[in-house]
Amino acid sequence: MNDLLSEFLRRNALLKGHFKLASGLHSDTYFQCARLYEDPGFFKQICSELVRSLDSNFDKVIACAVGGIVPAYEIAFQMGKKMAYLERINGRLEIRRGFAISKDESFLVVEDVVTTGGTVEEIFDFIENSGGVVKGVASLILRAKASPFENLKYLLKISTVEVNPDDCQLCKTGVPVSIPGVKALQA
């Protein structure tokens, strides 16, 4: 996609305001990738660009609910792979719904947005503790100045400002914080 950032803007998927990210950091910028999913044809097109950059030397695609499920599904579909996802239940990742990780099974981890890489690290740990192997990482957006993972492939890299809540100027001036992600949801 020649100008994915302009597509985010056009589709109201790049939000400005005061946001608490899944990492706990605060930012004035939020990528609402779900807005891209409203147009399956467009989403298929951008995922095909990401798929072209990926090595297919893995068994299964895996993601964390909710943000990673749709891109993981589309990437798995286009690559002819199976997919699974993990769910965060009371703060811990769990595998449910009959999904399983077999010993030595290899995975491509898919995420919608990578900021600090915390969720991806949790997925790595879960896979490795279950006997599986991580072969790569793919994300629609990398919002970090540098990739936290050597083998990360992404469509759009954009540096945004993320700060600890104690250092957040928006908090200090009384701007209400929005929590658009799902990491904090409880079962």
At a CB cut-off of 8 Å and minimum separation 6, what does 27 contact? 19, 21, 160, 161, 162, 163
Tokens of 142: 């990398």
The confidence score (pLDDT) of residue 145 equals: 73
| Full-model pTM | 0.89
Angstrom distance (rounded) from CA 121 to CA 93: 11
Domain-located, residue 91: yes
- Quick check: is 177 in a domain? no
Give the per-residue pLDDT at 107.
Answer: 97
Q: How many CB atoms lie within 10 A of CB 29?
A: 16
Q: Domain for residue 183, yes or no?
A: no
Could you give the 3-state DSSP secondary structure of residue 146?
coil
Inside any domain, residue 19: yes
Residue 37 lies in a domain: yes
Cα(155)–Cα(142) distance, integer angstroms: 8
Cα separation, 133 vs 47, whole angstroms: 23
pLDDT in tens, 8-38: 999 999 999 999 988 889 999 999 999 999 9
Single-letter amino acid, residue 122: E
pLDDT for 132 equals: 97
The CATH number assigned to the domain holding 164 equals: 3.40.50.2020
CA–CA separation, 165 vs 172, rounded Å? 9
Q: What's the confidence (pLDDT) of residue 1?
A: 45
Domain of 155 in residue numbering reads as 4-172
Domain count, the chain: 1
The mean pLDDT values, 10 residues at a time, for the chain of 187 residues are 81 93 90 92 96 96 93 98 94 91 96 90 95 96 82 91 94 93 53
The confidence score (pLDDT) of residue 28 equals 94
Domain membership of residue 76 (yes or no) is yes
In the prediction, which pLDDT does 23 show?
A: 84
CA distance 169 to 18: 10
